Amino acid sequence: MNEFVKAAYRDAAANSGGRLYPLPRASLLKSDFSKVFSTHLGHLIGGGRFEAEGLLVTGQSGSGKTTEIRSLIARFNASEAELPNGAHARFAECVLKGIGSWKDLGRSTAQAVGFPIGEKARLTQSEIWDIVVREAKLAGTIGIHFDEAQHIFREKKSADCLAVLDSFKTLMKSHDWPLMLIFSGVPELEGYMKAEPQLHRLLHRVQFNDVSLPDDYKTVHEIVGSYAVRSGVEVDADLMTQDFLDRLVAAGAYRWGVLIDITKRAIAAAQDEGAERLIRDHFTDWWVSKTKTARVATPFTHSDFRSMYRKDHLFLKALDS
C-alpha cells in the first residue's frame, strides 16, 4: 500500500463521491432545462431564426449548484438527443473563476467547445465568437454552462460588464447557431444580469434555497441515514435527534452541498478508525481536523452553537469572523 493512500478515505470517496441525494431541486432544474431544450429543438426543426433561451441558477456558495448542474449535463450528454442534422446534442462547460478580460472569456469559451485559441492569436472579439459558434455547430454543441459567472463581473467598470453581457447575448441571438446558456453563481449574479434587459428576459431563473427548519428535518435525517447505509456503517440513534440535526445544519451554514459533504467526511472518519457505527464524535473529529477549532467549540459540542456559527460565515466561529 502506498504510504500516502488512506484506504478508508479513498474508498469512502469512491463509494459516495458520485452519488447525489435526490433533493427536489434536481427535478425542478431538470424540468426547466427540458422545457428550454425542447423549445430549442423545436426551433431547430422549424428552420427559422430564433433566440435561444437559458437558465440562471443562483444560490449561496456550497449550496450544490455546480454538482447538480454537472450531473444534469452529464446525463443530458449521455442521452444522445438527436438534432435535425443527425448529430447528438451536447452541452459544454466553462468555469469563469479567474477569467479577467473579454479575450480570456472568448478563449475559455472556445476551449470549452473544443477549439483552443492561443494567447498570442490576434483575433477581434467578433472573430472569436464566430469561431465559438462555428465550432459549436460542427460538434452538435447546443449550449454552454458558465460556472462561477459572477467572477467575470466583479471589480469591473460598468462598460466592461456590459461588454461581457453583450458577448453572451451575441451567442444566444446568433443567426447561424443560437446557443442555450446556463449561468450559475451566487445571488449577486442576478443583479449583473439585470443590467442587460434583452439577455435577462431570455433566462429562466432557478434559485437553490438554503436548508429550512423545521420543514427540512426529514430530508436531513434521510441524508445522514442514506449515506451511512451506502457506506456500510450503522447510524447511532443520537444522530437522529433534533439536537444533532440542528447542529449539522448549523455546521453546514444551512447549505445543502456543505451539509452533505460534512456527512460524507464524517463517515470516512468513522471508516478510517474501523468503526461499525457512525456517532457524533466522528463529525466532531472531522471538524477539528478541518478547522483546528478546540474540541469544545465545534458546532457539534458547544452549547451556544447557533449564535457561534452563523449562516454567513462558513466554517468560522462568530468570534473569529
**Average pLDDT for 41-60:** 96
- Say if residue 277's pLDDT is above 70: yes
Task: Calculate mean pLDDT across residues 142-170.
Answer: 92
Lowest mean pLDDT among 56-60, 237-241, 304-308: 304-308
Q: Is it the case that residue 214 has pLDDT exceeding 90? A: yes
pLDDT value at residue 319: 46
Q: Are 239 and 279 in contact (CB under 8 A)?
A: yes
Q: What are the residue ranges of CATH 1.10.8.60 in the chain?
A: 211-308
Task: For residues 104-123, give the mean pLDDT.
Answer: 87
Q: Look at the block and give the residue holding cell 434536481.
A: 26
Residues carrying CATH 3.40.50.300, the chain:
24-207
Contact assessment for residue 298 and residue 284, using Cβ atoms and an 8 Å cutoff:
yes
Q: How far apart are CA 31 and CA 234, in angstroms?
A: 35
Average pLDDT over residues 135-153: 95
* Cell of residue 70, nine digits: 454537472
Query: What is the value of pTM for the model shown?
Result: 0.90
Residue that the C-alpha cell 444522445 belongs to: 80
Task: Detail the DSSP E strand segments found in the chain.
Answer: 54-58, 90-95, 141-147, 180-185, 203-207, 234-235, 277-278
Contacts of 141 (CB under 8 A, 6+ apart): 90, 91, 92, 113, 114, 135, 179
pLDDT of residue 18: 64
Q: Would residue 80 be called left, alpha or beta, if left means φ above 0 and alpha means ψ between -120 and 50 degrees?
A: left
Q: Domain 24-207 classified CATH 3.40.50.300? A: yes
Average pLDDT rounded to a whole number, residues 5-29: 83
> 132: how many CB neighbours lie within 10 A of its CB?
28
In this prediction, residue 54 has a pLDDT band, given cuts at 50, 70 and 90, of very high
CATH number belonging to domain 211-308: 1.10.8.60
